[in-house]
Amino acid sequence: MDGAFFDGRTSRPHQVDVAISEGALLFEAGGTRHAWPLEGLRVEVLGDRVRLSCDAGADGRLTLSRADWRAVLGRHGRRVEARGRRREGRVVLSLAAVGLTMAAIVFVGLPAASGPLARHTPPDLERQIGDSFDAQLGLGMKTCSGGEGQAALARFGHQLQARTGTPFDIRVRAVRAPFANAMALPGGRILVTDKLIAFTRTPDELSAVIAHEVAHVERRHVMQAMWRSLGAGLLLDLVVGGGSGAGQQAVLLAGSASDLRYSRRAEAEADARGMELLQAEGLSSQGMAPFFRRVAAGDGEKAASPLRELVSSHPDSLRRAQVSAAHARPGAAAFDTQAWASIRAACPPARAPH
């Protein structure tokens, strides 16, 4: 029977005459005689042709018409085909099992392990990570120039720090950004965007947001999110091959400090702990509920665009407003009239270029 042999070194096929003798396929190509044992053949059915290979043939491939293959080999040919299909099925099942195992690690194992990993991360290492994030974010999120407002924010951060068990120096500052948000970085830095400051209507609202972020720092939620992102990146590098940089890119994208996603449990914990910190200082915790109500409502079309980031990173704002209202307590304002005015003016409008 006629066949086409590809030697694996060139793309040119060799037309060969294939015979069967003593349990082997026999053919000659390029002056070399080949004998492929029938029991060791691997068969792929490609429409009306079959492609054969075996360990004895190294990289070589032999193609025959499927009709010739079955006519000559009969039942044996069909058994070999069935064995090939079973082998392909096992490969598919193995790949599916690997995929399911990796999915379980990413979506179950890593979230479960992120808490213990975060708690056992050396504080000095977390500070270094935070410094790196701060430097990267500083390229696009410039620190606001208002010295008095920055000093008021920094004092408030240190005031709440005294009530926590955190090993980190809480440093709060205002930055310019095209979205309304506040974010805790690893190691104790907290950034409050100018759009967020503009969105808050009272000192109680702003102090509630900052207290929430201080709670994230104290409970090391930010490192939990970092560990989840890092683990996903390492797994991605395993899939696509080490050294590709895919894992590093996943870490940068999924673990960006301006885009960290906490779990619902962590957000609820930060809400409750933030209110506790305010109440322990004798400060009003009544600003959290109205703040979340306005976040949930979008505060009208004008604020909808800058609020998009805040809404996306803080789910279930209306429910959180209801819970916060139930636990709110009156108290002193975190910022007096002068400090509040200086914070509101900390990020003056940028001057238009001449």
CB-CB neighbours of 352 under 10 Å? 5
Q: Look at the block and give the residue holding tokens 């109680």.
A: 204
Tell me: the pLDDT tens digits for 49-73? 888 888 777 778 888 888 877 776 6
* Residues ≥6 apart with Cβ < 8 Å to 352: none
Whether the pLDDT of residue 154 is over 90: the answer is yes
By CB atoms closer than 10 A (0-12, 13-18, 19+), residue 222 is buried
Helix (H) or strand (E) holding 258: none
Q: Tell me the residue type at 207.
A: S
Measured in degrees and rounded to the nearest 5, phi and psi for residue 96 equal -65, -40
User: What is the rounded CA–CA span in Å between residue 154 and residue 143?
Assistant: 13
Domains and CATH numbers, the chain: 2-80 (2.30.29.30), 121-344 (no CATH)
More confident residue, 311 or 33: 33
Minimal CA–CA distance to 60: which of 49, 51, 47, 70?
51
Whether the pLDDT of residue 340 is over 90: the answer is yes
User: What is the rounded CA–CA span in Å between residue 210 and residue 288?
Assistant: 10
Query: Tokens for 298?
Result: 């979008």
pLDDT band at 293 (very low <50, low <70, confident <90, very high): very high
181-to-10, 34, 176, 194 alpha-carbon distances in Å: 60, 71, 11, 9
Tell me: the pLDDT tens digits for 7-36? 878 878 888 888 888 778 888 888 888 888
User: Using an 8 Å Cβ cutoff, are 143 and 347 in contact?
Assistant: no
Query: pTM higher than 0.85 for the full model?
Result: no
3-state secondary structure of 7: coil
Tell me: the pLDDT tens digits for 230-288? 655 544 444 444 444 444 444 444 444 444 566 778 889 999 999 999 999 999 999 99
